[in-house]
């Protein structure tokens, strides 16, 4: 599960869950920055959550959720272990969490770089050097 800032397209948080349930969603919302509005795809668990300051608004179409859908597609593109259950899956949850955190770190730095320097190309792998 992921939270995405619509303005910067950076990941604000992500959580590895094996099952989409009320408890997992509430934890994700509890650690989210306070916002005036939270947009979702209408999954029934969102209606029963407690939000900080704002409320859940179900997006009609993809107008309000396209940024999180796009970033989730980036996750599946760059991390093959998230694309299919039958191949390239992580047998160790800790390894998956580490790969996810490293990707989010590099992806967010690339997104901020692209905002500061729109004319210069950047790839996610270019920001691995900052980690070491």
Task: Tell me the pLDDT tens digit for each residue of 69-96.
Answer: 888 888 888 887 776 666 666 667 888 8
Domain ranges of the chain: 2-131
pTM across the whole model: 0.69
Can you give the pLDDT at residue 7?
Answer: 82
At which residue do the structure tokens 């094996």 appear? 18
CA 11 to chain centre: 5
| Residue written as token pair 């993809």 | 62
The residue that leads in pLDDT, 45 or 113, is 113
pLDDT-derived band at 113 (thresholds 50, 70, 90) equals very high
Separation of CA 61 from chain center: 19
Rounded Cα distance, 30 and 1, in Å:
13
> Beta-strand (E) ranges in the chain?
2-4, 11-14, 37-40, 55-58
């Amino acid at each position: 599960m992921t939270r995405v800032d619509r303005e910067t397209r950076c990941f604000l948080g992500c959580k590895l869950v094996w099952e989409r349930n009320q408890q997992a969603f509430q934890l994700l919302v509890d650690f989210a920055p306070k916002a005036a509005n939270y947009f979702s795809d209408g999954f029934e668990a969102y209606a029963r959550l407690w939000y900080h300051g704002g409320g859940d608004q179900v997006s009609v179409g993809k107008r309000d959720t396209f940024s999180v859908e796009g970033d989730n597609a980036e996750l599946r593109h760059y991390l093959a272990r998230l694309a299919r259950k039958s191949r390239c899956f992580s047998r160790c949850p800790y390894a998956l969490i580490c790969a996810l955190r490293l990707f989010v770190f590099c992806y967010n730095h690339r997104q901020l770089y692209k905002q500061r320097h729109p004319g210069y190309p950047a790839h996610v792998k270019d920001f691995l050097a900052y980690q070491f």
